[in-house]
Structure formats: C-alpha cells, structure tokens
Copies of this chain bind each other. A is one copy, B any other.
Amino acid sequence: MSVTRTKIVDAAMVIVRDQGVSRLTLDEAAKRAGMSKGGVLYHFKSKDELVRGMVQRMLEQCDALLQNHYAAEPEGAYRWSRALVRMAFDPEGPPDHKIGGALLAAVTVNPDLVAPIQAAYDSWTARAVSDSPDPLRAKLVCMAMDGYYFQRLMGISLFNERQRDQMKEFVLNMIDAGKSGE
C-alpha cells in the first residue's frame, strides 16, 4: 500500500468518524487527503474499492493487535479470549480508533463489502472458542466486546475512561473465573 493510498484511506476514516458516513464522498475524501477527486480515483477505481481499502486496513490493524496481545498473554485457557478483550479496549482497536468507521462505511455503501469482516470475525470467535473450556463464556465475551464497539460506533452511552478500565478488568476477571470451572 503506497503512502498516498494510505493517506486517502485515512482521510476516509476521519470523515466517517467526524462527519458521519453520509458525508463520505469521493470529493470529500479527496479534499481531506489534499488532492483532487481524479487523484483518488487513480488510486481507487471506484468508491467500493475505497471502502474495500478501509476494510482491509481495519482488519490488518486488528490482526496485528490481536497477535501482539496474544503474544503478551500467559499461556493457558482463554488466552485468545483475553487477547480479544485487550484488543477491544486498545486505543488502537476498532472501538476507539478511526479505523472503526470502516464497518459502518461498508454496511452503508455496499453490504457485500462486509464479507471480509464477517470472515475475520468468525475466525476470531473460533479462536476464542478454541482455547476456552467454556465456549459459551467465550462467545459471551465476544458479544460484549462487540457491544462496546457498537456503542462507540453509534454514539450511544459512552463510558468515560474510568468506567472503561473498570469494565475491562471486570471482563478479564470473569474470564479467569471460568478457568477453575465457575
């Protein structure tokens, strides 16, 4: 991915976050990226392609975060689940980072573009379940993290930093409680 492409995708992300999905147009993205629409269309043949780029960018970042957090977690049960929670509460994760807008953009521009996200999501869930003695507990954790993402994306009921950290600890504790058979 060239520097310019990255810059354009960044601009698109910022637009979604700051102005809402409805304002995501090729013109606006170009303006934000400091270039003309022609320039944008040189790098992305269509708006769909641009959104695809956003999605790809988001998934790459998520995967990287997940990998990092997984590596940092101690071995044992629920390791993936814990990594997932860390990613969800990471400032660089989808809920709190501009990359989160990619999903919203995909859904509104063309629902087909959600497919890669679904695939990634399924694999994350599968991983979380794979090393969990209690699959339902792992799934619940996934759902809760989605809920957190959802709230941020839709702008409903925002935690402050303190509540955020409390919730993170609570979820991690809940996971640990599942280790020794509830």
> Do residues B108 and A140 form an inter-chain contact, with CB atoms below 8 A?
no
Among the interface residues A110, A125, A150, A171, which one has the most CB atoms of the partner chain B within 10 A? Answer: A150
Q: Which residues of B contact A143 (CB under 8 A)?
A: 143-145, 147-148, 151, 167
How many copies of the chain does the oligomer comprise?
2
Q: In whole angstroms, what is the CA distance A64 to B170 when docked? A: 31
Q: A145-B147, A146-B151 are in contact. Are A21 and B108 (CB under 8 A)?
A: yes
> Do residues B109 and A154 form an inter-chain contact, with CB atoms below 8 A?
no
> Do residues B118 and A157 form an inter-chain contact, with CB atoms below 8 A?
yes
Q: A145-B147, A146-B150, A155-B111 are in contact. Are A140 and B20 (CB under 8 A)?
A: no
Total residues of chain A contacting the partner, CB 8 A: 42
Q: In whole angstroms, what is the CA distance A155 to B121 when docked? A: 11
Tell me if A1 is interfacial: C-beta within 8 Å of chain B.
Answer: no
> Do residues B114 and A155 form an inter-chain contact, with CB atoms below 8 A?
yes
Contact residues of A between 111 and 166, Cβ < 8 Å to B: 111, 114, 117-118, 121-122, 125, 136-137, 139-140, 142-151, 153-157, 166
> Do residues B157 and A140 form an inter-chain contact, with CB atoms below 8 A?
no
Q: Which residues of B contact A167 (CB under 8 A)?
A: 136, 139-140, 143
A residues near B (Cβ < 8 Å) are: 20-22, 103-104, 107-111, 114, 117-118, 121-122, 125, 136-137, 139-140, 142-151, 153-157, 166-167, 170-171, 174, 177, 182
Since A136-B166, A147-B149 are in contact, a sample of 4 more A-B pairs with Cβ atoms closer than 8 Å, ordered by chain A residue number, is A20-B110, A118-B156, A140-B174, A142-B147
